[in-house]
Amino acid sequence: MSRANAKSALAEVAVILRSLNDESAAWVERYIPKAATDGIARTIVALGAADTLEDAEKIAKFNRINREFVASAVADTQADLLAVTQNVDRRVKQAIRQVTADSMRANLTRGINGNRTLNADILQRMRKTLGSAVDTGIVDSAGRRWRPEVYVEMVTRTKMAATNRESTVNEAVGRGAYYGVISRHNAIDKCRGYEGMIVKLTPDAPGDYR
């Protein structure tokens, strides 16, 4: 694999990653606010200010707390997803440099200097190295390894759920509702001990509730 071929391959990777960054940023900007709106609408229905979710969505709007929260959630999620593509970009570049150097060193010391043999060996090593790099492409702060697609799914699911939950609480507190009731779903795990429990939505709410 010549220097020109490697440079061309890296340029193509860069184009793909830029496209992924643009797509993910647009997706986050559209769906994180949607998760917040859904939380607000459900609060409006729960408090009896609207009969249906459709009616609630028509009157749902972000209060000041939720506006700031959603803007922060969008920025945080976009940064998390950008880190994935930056990591992949770095790993690809490292892999190409490392594999090329390792192959040249290993073959030249054995007296092998034919381009065809070198190219075949470099490509074989590259497939193996890049494959393992992609399989364990992300290492989080806890030291856990994630495949990029699993990590992205985890990030978006977690952020969407957190946005929905926080916007629900913010809207309820903004309307003077300081308590919630944990729903019942006949859970069979430890959640069953919390079903039906009344909880505070803010620590300052009066009463002896969690």
pLDDT higher for 31 or 131?
31
Q: Which residues lie below 8 Å from residue 168, measured CB to CB, with a gap of 6+?
A: 39, 40, 42, 43
Phi, psi of 180 (to 5 degrees): -135, 160
Distance CA 172, CA 46 (A): 9
**Of 66-75, 77-86, 144-153, which gets the smallest average pLDDT?**
144-153
Distance CA 25, CA 7 (A): 27
Angle at 128 between CA 108 and CA 11, to 5 degrees: 85
pLDDT of residue 75: 92
Decide if 89 contacts 14 (C-beta within 8 A): yes
Asked whether residue 208 carries a pLDDT value surpassing 60, the answer given is: yes
Q: pLDDT over 90 for what percent of the chain?
A: 44
pLDDT higher for 28 or 154?
28
Distance CA 179, CA 13 (A): 51
Q: pLDDT over 70 for what percent of the chain?
A: 77
pLDDT of residue 47: 94
Please give the average per-residue pLDDT across 72-93, as a whole number: 84
pLDDT higher for 148 or 43?
43
Please give the average per-residue pLDDT across 171-193, as a whole number: 93
